[in-house]
Structure 1
Amino acid sequence: MRYLYTLAMYLVTPIIVLRLLARGVRYRDYHRRWRERFGFYDLPPVRGSIWVHAVSVGEVNAAEPLIKALREEYTNAPLVVTTVTPTGSERVRQLFGNSVSHVYLPYDLPFAVSRFMKRVRPRLAIIVETEIWPNLYFACKKRGIPLMIVNARLSERSLRGYRPMQGLVRSALSCVRQIAAQSRTDAARYRSLGMDPSRILVSGNLKFDMPVPYDAVPAGDALRQQWGRLRPVWIAGSTHEGEELAILEAHLEVLKRLPDALLLIAPRHPERFKMVENSVRSLGFSTATRSTDRVPTAAHQVFVIDAMGELMQFYAAADLAFVGGSLVPIGGHNVLEPAALSKPVLVGPHTFNFEEITLTLIREGAGARVDSSDALGGDVLKLLLDQGRRAQMGTRAKVVFDSERGAVKRVMELIDRQLQE
């Protein structure tokens, strides 16, 4: 089955490359360093590295506290961080600069994986969240490299996707020394895929250990000072195609009751920044953007955050946060970022990527679920009009966030054990 999988990978590679080129039309970083996708690197050869793979921005943010702990604990070991997306690459540079080496993970083709392994020569491989690449996993086993999946999560949707090739997935998972799952539900799903139960434990979610940027709250306060502390402000973070129109319609509903309200909207992907800005303007909103105007004025109704790595300060500046990817079946994004800043959290019906965290926030009264796109405006308006409820939800959100911390310490103990063995 692995041979069939590899053949299929070779056959679809031209399609993958064409998709890469197409995405590069809107976001040119997809055209840069494309040779790395096939294992050709300018990175000087390293030996005995600790390699961490985080596919994109969300996974890099989740891995941040772990990577910092690895830098402190293993000062003599080179750290190599791989991503798949340019936005993930940019986030690595923002967080770690030159203190880690960064390259793109190659496609799961045997020759590309072999080149990667020869250049990086890891003593430990750490996959963040969910990335099961059979040829990569078998290459680690063949070379005797301990492989771990940390902060492991597996949605019901992903589980269904893996089932048609469960035999191959089971074989790939046999190469994994340890899975540190986010929750009991995730652990059970990995067991159902055939992972040895003795190699799975529940460590909690690394994202609870993420550091809140020291300047996020002061920066948020400064923003509020500029556009007015009493002005109602809500933010829609990490939005996707199919959500922005519903969000803008919700803001129209809010403006009928609160004419000075301000919407901050942050599209998830940079290649969509201009498209979202044009959509906002076409609907007649008075619009400002981060790249051009820096901050909105009292005259602006919508502010498009067309910049990466700045979301936390805008969460800090808002009265409440809607987390995107949840009105459409993307599965939602990180609800912990606004929770860490004591903000009430709203989500749509599709939150399978952050299922247990979202349910915990809702159960503890820190968050609320919007049943549909049509209900978003009314739910936002109710919260903007109820300062007492917002304060209560924000306090509970911070309590949930603080109470779940400690996953980094547990994962570091597992890493120490693997390296000692």
Structure 2
Amino acid sequence: MRFLYTLAMYLVTPLIVLRLALRGFRSRPYYWRWAERFGFFNAPLNLRDSLWVHAVSVGEVNAAEPLIKALKRDYPGAPLVVTTVTPTGTARVRQLFGDSVFHIYLPYDLPYAVNRFLAGVRPRLALIVETEIWPNLYFACRRRGIPLMIVNARLSERSLRGYRPRPLRGMVRAALSCVDLVAAQSQTDAERYRLIGAPPERVMVCGNLKSDMPVPQDAPAAGERLREHWGAGRPVWIAASTHEGEEQAVLEAHLEVLKHLPDALLLIAPRHPERFRPVEHAVRSLGFAFGSYGADGMPSPSHQVFVIDAMGQLMPFYAAAGVAFVGGSLVPIGGHNALEPASLGTPVLVGPHTFNSEEITASLIDDGGALRVPGSGALGETVLRLLCDEGRRRDMGRAARRVFERERGAVGRLMALIAAQLRK
């Protein structure tokens, strides 16, 4: 079966490259460093016995941040390698860690590319973040005797269905037999990994690394400065990590809010840089008075909408906002990190699609720190209701913060498992 999979990978590679080229029309960084995607790169001489962390994109890099910092602290002499798949993930690695880690794109799952990559990186341990099952990569790690762990492992119901068709079932099971440990986010994720073939004795629950993300100490003060700049007491909400299909709904919701709160301000932060210009165009076409982070730096009292067209700048804005809608949830993306606003005591709103973090979202909702809107039509009404009820926002913010604090500790549990693995 793996032969057929590999043959299929070779056949579809030209289409994958074409897709990359087409994406490059919208985001120029997709044109950069193509050779790395086939395993060609200049490896530093000191990479022997490296610790390798793979995080697909921005969300996984953010989740891995506390883990990578713990690895740097506990293994200061070990070279750290971080791989990503997307340019936005690459930019986030650079923003967080600079040159203190060696970054490279993960190659396509082709045997020659994978072997060239592993020969250059020479890892002592491989840590795959969340949900990345690449058969040729996993088998190559086993052949080379490289311990392999899936950390912060999650598996949505949709992904579970995708891995279970009969033609794939045996190959997925064989690939997972190469994994030394699956450290799952939740009991549900652990059970799903067992269902697709992970050896039960190698699966355990460690919690969600996102709950251990560092909360910037200056975020509350920065949020206060923002509020003073745009006008203390002004009703403000943020729509963060939005996708195509959500921004228009968010802007229409803000029109509804403005009918009742004419001084309200919407902060909108698209998930991907290629969305910055289309969002600004949509804002302009609806006639809003607006500014942007890149052009203005801070929202002014005259702005009705402010576009955060920069990566990694959300926390001060979360701290300043009265309500936070977390995107990727009105459309079937699966939702993004609701623990970020929760960590700052900001009430959270999510849409119906939160399968990327089912248990955390359920905890926030059940404990009163978050509300779920059934669809885009209900967003404006829900935001308006919360902006008009300071007591409700205060109670929700406290509840959200309690959930965040309760979930902490995943990094410590995971680091103990990593230490045990490295002692073998």
Q: TM-score, normalised to structure 2's length?
A: 0.98
Cα shift at 1:294: 1.2
Cα shift at 1:351: 0.4
Say whether residues 1:206 and 2:209 are aligned partners. yes
Match runs of 1:5-404 below 5 Å:
5-45=5-45, 46-164=47-165, 165-404=168-407
Distance 1:318 1:166 in 2: 46
AA aligned opposite 1:8: A
AA aligned opposite 2:39: G
AA aligned opposite 1:141: R
Distance 1:378 1:70 in 2: 45
Distance 2:28 2:218 in 1: 30
Paired residue secondary structure (1:194): coil
Paired residue secondary structure (2:250): helix
Q: Which runs of 4+ in 1 moved over 4 A?
A: none
Paired residue secondary structure (1:331): coil
Distance 2:303 2:15 in 1: 43
Cα shift at 1:215: 2.4
State the Cα deviation string for residues 125-144 of structure 1 (Å, max 9, x = none).
00011100000000000000
Cα shift at 1:43: 3.1
Distance 1:294 1:47 in 2: 43
Distance 2:414 2:232 in 1: 41
Cα shift at 1:372: 1.1
Distance 1:66 1:193 in 2: 26
Distance 2:234 2:35 in 1: 49
Paired residue secondary structure (1:176): coil
Distance 2:320 2:7 in 1: 51
Cα shift at 1:341: 0.5
Paired residue secondary structure (1:308): coil
Paired residue secondary structure (2:127): strand
Cα shift at 1:10: 0.7
AA aligned opposite 2:123: P
Distance 1:114 1:159 in 2: 28
Between 208-217 and 243-252, the greater mean CA deviation after superposition: 208-217
Distance 2:387 2:77 in 1: 51
Distance 2:42 2:23 in 1: 23
Distance 2:249 2:394 in 1: 26
Equivalent residue, structure 1, for 2:2: 2
Cα shift at 1:12: 0.8
Paired residue secondary structure (2:312): coil
Paired residue secondary structure (1:346): strand
Cα shift at 1:218: 1.7
Between 127-136 and 39-48, the greater mean CA deviation after superposition: 39-48
Paired residue secondary structure (2:164): helix
Cα shift at 1:179: 0.5
Cα shift at 1:42: 2.5
Paired residue secondary structure (2:56): coil
State the Cα deviation string for residues 175-201 of structure 1 (Å, max 9, x = none).
000000000000000010011110000
Paired residue secondary structure (1:266): strand
State the Cα deviation string for residues 209-243 of structure 1 (Å, max 9, x = none).
10002222222111111001211000000000101
Distance 1:374 1:409 in 2: 42
Paired residue secondary structure (1:399): helix
Q: TM-score, normalised to structure 1's length?
A: 0.99
Cα shift at 1:103: 0.6
Distance 1:21 1:203 in 2: 39
Paired residue secondary structure (1:212): coil
AA aligned opposite 2:28: R
Distance 1:146 1:212 in 2: 31
Distance 2:362 2:185 in 1: 14
Distance 2:420 2:337 in 1: 30
AA aligned opposite 2:12: V
Paired residue secondary structure (2:291): strand
Count how many residue pairs are aligned between Structure 1 and Structure 2: 421
Equivalent residue, structure 2, for 1:407: 410
Distance 2:273 2:164 in 1: 33
Between 380-389 and 162-171, the greater mean CA deviation after superposition: 162-171
Cα shift at 1:25: 1.1
Distance 2:390 2:134 in 1: 48
Distance 2:346 2:163 in 1: 36
Instruction: Provide structure 2 residue ranges, at least 5 long, that are not aligned to the other structure.
Output: none
State the Cα deviation string for residues 52-96 of structure 1 (Å, max 9, x = none).
000011111111111111111111110101011111111111111
